[in-house]
A and B are shown apart, each in its own frame.
Chain A
Amino acid sequence: EAQVTQNPRYLITVTGKKLTVTCSQNMNHEYMSWYRQDPGLGLRQIYYSMNVEVTDKGDVPEGYKVSRKEKRNFPLILESPSPNQTSLYFCASSLPTGLGGNEQFFGPGTRLTVL
């Protein structure tokens, strides 16, 4: 089954404790991305990756890191989480984005709470 998986689905942590949210897709997609969803703010893109070893900032990259060492995986790293990073996080993937765009396939989400 074609899918994007995220782990963990729920996480409660404390300020400053490094964490990683994993994302994996089995569709051989080049493009992968991370979003956060907050009430009243919709979905905001954190980082995206056009392909292996190619990453770029989205609209809200502060406080996050990503890496793309393999095509299927795109982990989101919070080196020193803070309470304002409490949010619902989504990973997504798609075929290469050409002159236009392509539909993205989203994971089920990771609800993160930072105390």
Chain B
Amino acid sequence: SQELEQSPQSLIVQEGKNLTINCTSSKTLYGLYWYKQKYGEGLIFLMMLQKGGEEKSHEKITAKLDEKKQQSSLHITASQPSHAGIYLCGADNNDMRFGAGTRLTVKP
């Protein structure tokens, strides 16, 4: 089965700083999803990447997919306290799998 490893597990940054979260798959990535989770709420879909080299942006969040490295990165520019939460990557190869998540804290 496909395993997804996220790094780092947790991240504390000062407001305004940039940051990157990585997601590495043990198997070929045919598509990858990024989600954000706020405490006590359901997952919020951020974006889906399907093709190698694909890059998508949503407000100040950009994600890329590197098929060769079986890896995706999520980059936040000029972080805000509203970006705080847990970021999860997911992949669906008949069974939906998720990484363990990266807990982001943004200090004002």
**Genuine A/B complex:** no
